[in-house]
Amino acid sequence: MSYDSKNMSLHENAGVTFLTFPPIERYDFVNHAFSTRLGGVSQNEFASMNLNFGRGDEDKNVTDNFHQFCDAAGFDYHTLVASSQDHHTFIRRVSPENYGIGIWKPKDMKSVDGLITNEPNVTLVTYYADCVPLFFLDPKKRAIGLAHAGWRGTVAQIGREMVAAMVREFGSDPRSLVAAIGPSIGPCCFEVDAPVYAEFEKLTELRPQEFIVSKGGGKYNIDLWEANRRIILKAGIPDEQITVAQLCTECNSDWLYSHRASGGKRGGLAAMMCIRGRKHED
C-alpha cells in the first residue's frame, strides 16, 4: 500500500483502514469516513472490506463488514440509510424512518444518487469503485449530504443539484457550505472515447478544454475531480471551502476498489456521513 494524499487523513482502528477529510473533521458535530478495501471478512476479488451487496459476495460477509466498519469508524449500524444509484441526479432527504433501507431493509426507491439530512443520528451511505464521492456540509444549518457522481452524473451536474437541494430543504447559503471530492478514478486513468468526450464538451460554461486532454486516435483523458470542483464552485461554494482528495482508485487498486482495474470483478467502497446524536437503542 502506498499512500500519498495530502488532503485526506488515513486511519486504522481494529484492523479497519479508512479515510477522512481534515476540513470536515474540524466540525465535531459531524462524523464522516470513506472506506478502503482493508479489513473485513470478504475473500477473493471481494477482499476484504466489501461494502456492496449484490456483486456476488455473500450477504453475511457484507453485513459483517458493515458492522466492523461502523465500529471502527464510529458509526451506529442501526442508523444506516443507503442510496440506490443509477447515475442520475435525484436527491433524497432522509430521516430516522428510513433506517436500514438498502442495508437490512429492501430498497424502496430507484434512482437515488444523492442523500441529504439535517437530523441527528441518520447515517448516509453511498457506494463507489471509480465514480466520484461528493461530501457536503452546512455548518450553520447543521445539514449534510452525500452524492455519487459517475461521468453521467458529473455531466448532469449532480453537485449543483445537491447544493440546490440543500438550499431548498434547509435554507442553506451556498457560501457557507463545505464540500469535498473523494477518491475516484483520476485524470491519469480516466480514458474515454469520442461519444463521452462529446458530452463533456457541451459543458462550455465549465471550460472543458482545460480539464480534457486529447490522446489522439479518438481517445481522451478527463479530469472528473476538476469537472466536479468547477460545478460545485459555480453552484456558489467558495474555492477555499472545497477539498479534493487527489487519490486515484485505479492507481491504488491494491487498497481501493477500482472497477476498471479489476475488469468489474470487485467489491465496493462506501462513503458515510452523519450528524452526531445519542446512540440508537435496540
Residue 178 lies in a domain: yes
pLDDT exceeds cutoff 70 at 186: yes
CATH code for the domain of 259: 3.60.140.10
Residue 172 lies in a domain: yes
Distance, CA of 60 to CA of 58 (rounded, Å): 5
* Domain count within the chain: 1
| Across 3-32, average pLDDT | 95
* Pairing assessment for the beta strands 80-82 and 123-128 based on DSSP bridges: parallel
Q: What are phi and psi of 93, to 5 degrees?
A: -85, 130
44-102 pLDDT tens trace: 999 999 999 999 999 999 999 999 999 999 999 999 999 999 999 999 999 999 999 99
Distance, CA of 281 to CA of 73 (rounded, Å): 19
Q: Which domain holds residue 158?
A: 9-185+240-275
| Across 205-216, average pLDDT | 98
| Across 266-270, average pLDDT | 98
Of 248, 251, 250, 203, the closest CA to residue 228 belongs to 203
Residue 191 lies in a domain: no
pLDDT exceeds cutoff 90 at 3: no
Cβ–Cβ under 8 Å, residues 232 and 149: no
CB atoms within 10 A of CB 217: 8
How confident is residue 279, by pLDDT bands cut at 50, 70 and 90?
low
Q: Residue 219 corresponds to which cell in the numbers above?
A: 481517445
87-139 pLDDT tens trace: 999 999 999 999 999 999 999 999 999 999 999 999 999 999 999 999 999 99
137-171 pLDDT tens trace: 999 999 999 999 999 999 999 999 999 999 999 99
Residue 234 lies in a domain: no
Residue 254 lies in a domain: yes
